[in-house]
Amino acid sequence: MDYINVEKIKELARIHEPQCISIFMPTYRAGMETNKKIDQKHLKTLVKDTRHELEAHGVKEPEIKNLLEPINELIDDTGFWNFQSDGLAIFRNRNFFEYYTLPVLFETMVHVADHFYPMPLIPYINNGVKFYLLAISMGEVKLYEGFPHQINELEVSDLVPERLEEAVGFDFQQKHLNYRSGQDDRGRATFHGHGSASQEEVKTEILKYFRAVDNGIMKILHDKKSLLVLAAVDYLVPIYREANSYKYLYDDFIPGNPEHEDPVLLHEKTKDLLKDHFERYRREKAEKFEQALALQKAAYSEEEIISSAVNGRVDTLFVKKGDNLWGIYDSEKNTIQVRDKKASQNTSLLNLAAMHTIMNSGRVFLMEADDMPEPASRLNAILRY
């Protein structure tokens, strides 16, 4: 799985050069379809479509061959196709070539213009549905950055103690404690065991460890506003909450020792835990649109929204999923000219609005038609002013 974040989207959006190729396609995970080379045949067809678009742009054969060469090499790379996920995104121009294997079922498309087309990636990097997951035990600390369709481990080994002994000293001995109840009637951790260490001494050592962990991860989270979910055995959770200084620690947690848990399974458990939160977040944004519309701080006129996005006025943009609007944006007059269909001389105005919104620190949601606040328009926006 490759890593996509908002900075990568911005990097792609900043590139403006001739013959920027964007290809999206669904792919099969390893299995019968892989053996039949279905994905390779699909990409081969898309390369032909790309060639036709480049020819329509007036690109000569030697340059077409050079542009398509690394993509054709992917087609012939049998090993590459044995490690696919749900979708493949490819970005190529004369100075740039990157591809991403992602757990995202992309709709098939080819786009050739003087800029890339990153819009299908937006739902999977949007900060509104981003979260962090802290998987912690007495012997291991892992921090993940997650989105609805992917999770990525962040490097924290130089920021936090890797296990309890690193924080409290290697002379600490776990006294064969038997944690029977975990919490008292006030939600505080309780410890029942035997050996020389008392209940309070053990808790003090764990608290010291967790404070060191909190201090380390706050170097990453200090300016973030996304939820942090805890994965830990239940008796450790109240101690970590006591040590925690991050404002957005989620109320619920994933129980159990996460030391040997597959990150994919942890991701699924976190998504299930946060499902209502994600739905509530989207619902609140739609309600905010209605309130802003009454105050004349929202819009559903496509021309108004596109020009507002280019000028940094859009706080939140809703884009109708699966739709598009082709045309030309005149930056001098700040106007758009809509065209009936895609052509070499026009561009996706929806992608234009989305990229400018992201570049200006706004949020973008690709929405099903029925979920759009104002479904008659391809674009809805909450404006900053």
Look at 23-37, 54-68, 361-375 and tell me which has the smallest mean pLDDT: 23-37
Residues 121-152: tens digit of each pLDDT: 987 676 457 899 999 999 999 999 887 777 88
Which CATH code is given to the segment(s) 127-275?
Answer: 3.30.420
Backbone CA torsion sign across 79, 106, 381, 294: negative
**Cβ neighbours around 10 below 10 Å, total:** 15
Calpha distance 102→109 (Å, rounded): 16
Which CATH code is given to the segment(s) 6-124?
Answer: 3.30.960.10
Look at 53-57, 168-172, 334-338 and tell me which has the smallest mean pLDDT: 168-172
- Strand positions, DSSP E, 300-384: 314-320, 326-330, 335-339, 347-348, 363-367, 379-383
Q: So what's the pLDDT on residue 322? A: 86
Mean pLDDT of the chain: 88
Calpha distance 65→51 (Å, rounded): 9
Distances in whole angstroms, Cα of residue 72 to Cα of each of 77, 78, 100 = 9, 12, 16
Residues 257-294: tens digit of each pLDDT: 999 899 989 999 999 999 888 888 778 878 899 999 99
- φ/ψ of 188, rounded to 5, equals -90, 145
Contacts of 35 (CB under 8 A, 6+ apart): none
Residue 92's closest CA among 151, 23, 28?
A: 23
Contacts of 360 (CB under 8 A, 6+ apart): 309, 312, 314
pTM: 0.69
Residue 6's closest CA among 384, 14, 264?
A: 14
pLDDT bracket for residue 19 (50, 70, 90): very high
Q: So what's the pLDDT on residue 197? A: 59
The CATH architecture one would assign to domain 296-383 is 2-Layer Sandwich (3.30)
Backbone CA torsion sign across 249, 142, 215, 7: negative
Question: Which amino acid is present at 200?
Answer: E
Helix orientation angle between 38-56 and 61-76, rounded to the nearest 10 degrees = 170
Calpha distance 273→228 (Å, rounded): 12
The pLDDT of 181-199, averaged and rounded, is 54
**12-16, 28-32, 220-224 — most confident range:** 12-16
Helix orientation angle between 349-359 and 6-14, rounded to the nearest 10 degrees = 120
Give residue limits of the domains in the chain: 6-124, 127-275, 296-383
